[in-house]
Amino acid sequence: GKADRFYPDPAVGLSAQQVEQRMREGLHNGDSGIKSKTEGQIIWENVFTFFNLLNFALALAVILVGSPRSALFMGVIFSNIVIGSFQGIRAKHTIDKLSLISSPKAQVIRGGQPLTIQVEDVVLDDILVFSAGNQICADATVAAGECEVNESLLTGESDPIVKQPGDPLLSGSFVVSGSCQAQVERGGAESYANKIAGEASGVKKRSSEIMNSIDFIVKIIGFGIVPIGGLLFWKQYFVLGDAFQN
């Protein structure tokens, strides 16, 4: 369910008990929850594909019977793994840089006192204090004062926008002039900037007729190779009495 909202006086802010309650409820800015895959996971996913495992098995078979030259096709497989991993890791680094909220500290008013706290410790309904040059670290609504905000990182709008009491402030934007107190509306993974970054970090699976058909063919052939190969081996070795090597 929705949390009970507090509407603190902009000059006083939340009391220590209210902040404690929010922390207990988990309604703090916390970790945005945006996680890209680790480099290890990316490499693992590129190595252990169905197609690769099939090729590893075939290479092992030809090496075991003393024909390593027949395993040269593995060069293509290894190149594929290296290229796929490299591209995946490069994409991961790009997404990691995309975190729009880089502001490490936030100014708040709690119990009538101005405090400087970590951005992660900002809670729902906190009164944040913004002045020129500050980055907005959580979605909020102006409660008192007036400022101009640059939202170009989020919306592409390059002109500063005047914000008065009641107007929304979006996380990831910057205050260019003026100062205001603002009440936090959303934080953490719910905030606007983190939703943008979150959508960017979700890997969209490519989907095309050709790729889907190739995947389908590879799977059919792959699953077919094992029983057919087994039958052929049985015929040559047991029925025709061929040498194991052949």
pLDDT in tens, 16-40: 999 999 888 888 776 555 567 889 9
pLDDT at residue number 203: 56
- For residue range 44-81, list pLDDT tens digits in order: 999 998 888 888 988 998 888 888 888 888 999 999 99
Mean pLDDT of 87-108: 77
Mean pLDDT of 131-151: 93
Segment among 82-86, 156-160, 180-184, 219-223 with least mean pLDDT = 219-223
- For residue range 110-122, list pLDDT tens digits in order: 999 999 998 888 9
d(CA 167, CA 8): 17
Instruction: Tell me if 78 sits within 8 A of 52, measured CB to CB.
Output: no
pLDDT at residue number 237: 87
Instruction: Tell me if 182 sits within 8 A of 169, measured CB to CB.
Output: yes
- The distance from CA 162 to its chain's CA centroid, rounded to whole angstroms, is 32
The pTM of this model reads: 0.55
Identity at 176, one-letter amino acid code: V
Pick 240 or 95 by higher pLDDT. Answer: 240
Q: What are phi and psi of 53, to 5 degrees?
A: -60, -40
Closest CA relative to residue 194, chosen from 155, 140, 138, 118: 138
- For residue range 179-213, list pLDDT tens digits in order: 999 999 987 667 666 676 666 666 566 667 888 88
Pick 100 or 82 by higher pLDDT. Answer: 82
d(CA 85, CA 106): 38
pLDDT at residue number 34: 56
pLDDT at residue number 221: 85
Residue 144's Cβ-count burial label (10 Å; 0-12, 13-18, 19+) is middle
Instruction: Tell me if 103 sits within 8 A of 138, measured CB to CB.
Output: no
Pick 99 or 120 by higher pLDDT. Answer: 120
